[in-house]
Structure 1
Amino acid sequence: MKVKTIALLAALAASGGAFAQAAAPVPAPAPDYTLTFNVGAVSDYRYRGISQSRKDPAVQGGADFSHSSGFYVGTWASSIKWIEDAGGDAKAEVDLYGGYKGTVGGLAYDVGVLRYQYPRSELAVSPNTTELYAAGTFGPATLKYSHAVTNLFGFDDSENSYYLDLSATFDTGLWGLTLTPHVGYQKVKNYSDFSYTDYSLTLGKDFGNGLTATAAVVDTDNDNYRGPNGENLGKASVVVGVKYTF
């Protein structure tokens, strides 16, 4: 009798384990695509170290669509002032981009095309610019090369200008803060006085639920980019920003 009881209990335990295993929830399959939106504001819109908003605050926002295959497209916009200062009428920059992301071993790569649009710019030389880019990320570091296949941001005869930049992101281990050092070199073809190196050091905080904030020290080695009152648009400055992604 004792042997039968033990056998029965073992059978029940085995069947119970099988039932529990069969009843375990099955993870939902990863979606084929994701669509996100973002809105934000910065105390100064600095692009490649140069202020685009005359050192004033700017509002920004965008949308991104990515597919599980690695292909993606997106758009992003910001308020600006530099085209008005140059005699045009555009009050916004609208970017359109698309590309492909993948991995090879421990290297993540990203290749694509980016179009900068300035609606109603009305400048003598169009500031609209198209760049091809390629980036590689290994560990915390990312190296990126961007090549202009049109004139660059209103510089006449500047096709084949390029921008090379290196950045890295580190977890400080303190309060969820990240630290991102960055250095870049902008070559403006046929305009050596406007070619320059820019630097930045950014402290970031992810508050969860899509909310992030940043504080950055930004500087360049070029003082030829000037505002309407003669202000140096590439001078060292602290820039703070906030963004919500949903």
Structure 2
Amino acid sequence: MRDPASIREVKLLVNLMVVQNQIEKIVTATAPWQPSPDLLKNIQNNAAAVLLSSKIRTYKGVTATNIIIEILKQHRFDLPAGIEHNPADLSKVIGATQEALTLRRSKFKKLKMPPKADQLSIFQLTTLFVDGTRCSVNVPVCARVALMRKVYLKEPRQKFWDAVDENLAKIRKRVDGDSKQIIRAFRHILNADHNSHGVKDYTLDDETVDGFQQQVDDMIDANLVDAASTA
């Protein structure tokens, strides 16, 4: 005999509650999302490339972090779908990015501290900078490292990165933001470093960056354009 409608409704409600309880158990048992090792490695690689880019305007602040987040969003790198709409998980990615940048800045600064570090040629010093990264030694990267060494010899303490940012701002202001003049200014800094440090047993003639660095440089350029257009 078929149950009355009221009984069927009660049974349906009970079954729905059972299913809901099972779903809640599954959700509860699922571990919170964490950045994967592959994602963290890509963050670290991009942190190095951003900080060695000839396009970066500031080393401190949110600029470098925002650029890396945009790179991750574009290439995904093991990012979960829809993470942009999940503040809790996105904050973990941002935190990992900030940590990677902090560690890389610290490592770069420490490379200038060992005894006789100022006696290394710019080629030798830049080789240490790119060690363990996907970056390579070339003129634009060497020029940035030369600026860091120049600043470090004047301001080796806590305000080092602030001083680097101030120097970058002064260069842009002095040439009114002209990209060709900025390149010339860095070439002058690089030549001065070449003449002041280490043995001149190398030749720097590679004016181009590798494909990986170029992708990062292009992303920085794109973000600068976007920032200018929305300012």
TM-score, normalised via structure 2 length? 0.31
Q: Which has the higher helix share?
A: 2
Looking at secondary structure, tell me which structure has more strand per residue: 1
Structure ranking higher on relative contact order (CA contacts 8 Å, 6+ apart): 2
